[in-house]
Amino acid sequence: MHLDNYKSLKDEEIISIILQEHKTELFEILYQRYSRKVLDKCYTLLKHRELAEESRQNIFEKTYEKLNTFKGTASFLSWLYSITYNYCIDYLRNKNKLHYPEWNSNHEIPEIIEESQDDQEEINYERLVKILEMIHPEEKALLLMKYSDNLSIQQIGQALRISESATKMRIKRAKARVLFIYKEIYKD
């Protein structure tokens, strides 16, 4: 079977053929399409090249095993990203013993700053990149999932194993923290 014959198909069509006709080799097309994105996501969270590559392999294996649970209510890429975040955050929680509630208690936000439309015009994006590296990895992951990868609240909650209410509140807190740190460090 020549994969080229199937490369123009959409993700959902490829998945359907894999599941119904057992043409499992077609999974290679999905791997080729999204391998780089998943690797970049892993590196953003794990900050270690070899670990990111190993994690990418494990994530695609997991995705293949779970393929029959893909419902198609969101895009395949969103679903793949939620598996990616879940894997990386689980790794960080287990390996580094990250404890978000404890970290959060020790890093109270002294002031919740009112967001203004001017922020968009004044903000320096390079500085925001640095601030994102200063907050807890779980808060960084929350903000990336919501504002970069456009995952739904439900997907984010499932990835981090928290409720939808907790997801909304933690995103709110993470956003407030980023803004506070920005104003504090770059007062001018």
Partner 1 sequence: MKSFYQKLLKKDFHLPPRQVTEGFAKNFNNPVNTEWHKVGDHYEALFHHENIEKLAFFNALGQMTEIRTNQTVSELPEPINDTASRQGEIMNVIYIQKGSQNSYEIIVKQTDFTRKLILISEDNEILKTEIL
Residues 138 and 160 sit within 8 Å (Cβ to Cβ): yes
Q: Which of 48, 147, 154, 184 binds partner 1 (CB under 8 A)?
A: 147
Helix (H) or strand (E) holding 65: helix 49-65
49 binds partner 1 (CB under 8 A): no
61 binds partner 1 (CB under 8 A): no
Residues 29 and 7 sit within 8 Å (Cβ to Cβ): yes
Q: Which of 94, 106, 187, 188 binds partner 1 (CB under 8 A)?
A: 94
What CA–CA distances, in Å, run from 4 to 1, 19, 26?
9, 19, 10
Helix (H) or strand (E) holding 102: helix 100-106
Residue type at 57 in one-letter notation? Q
73 binds partner 1 (CB under 8 A): no
98 binds partner 1 (CB under 8 A): no
Q: Which of 116, 130, 134, 184 binds partner 1 (CB under 8 A)?
A: 116
3-state secondary structure of 128: helix
| Piece in contact with partner 1 (CB under 8 A), picked from 9-17, 20-28, 64-72, 142-150 | 142-150
With 0-12 / 13-18 / 19 or more C-beta atoms within 10 angstroms meaning exposed / middle / buried, residue 71 is exposed
101 binds partner 1 (CB under 8 A): yes
Residues in contact with partner 1 by CB under 8 A are: 90, 93-94, 100-101, 105, 109, 111-112, 114-117, 119-120, 123, 125, 128-129, 143-144, 147-148, 157-158, 161-163, 165-166, 168-170, 172-173, 175-176, 178-179
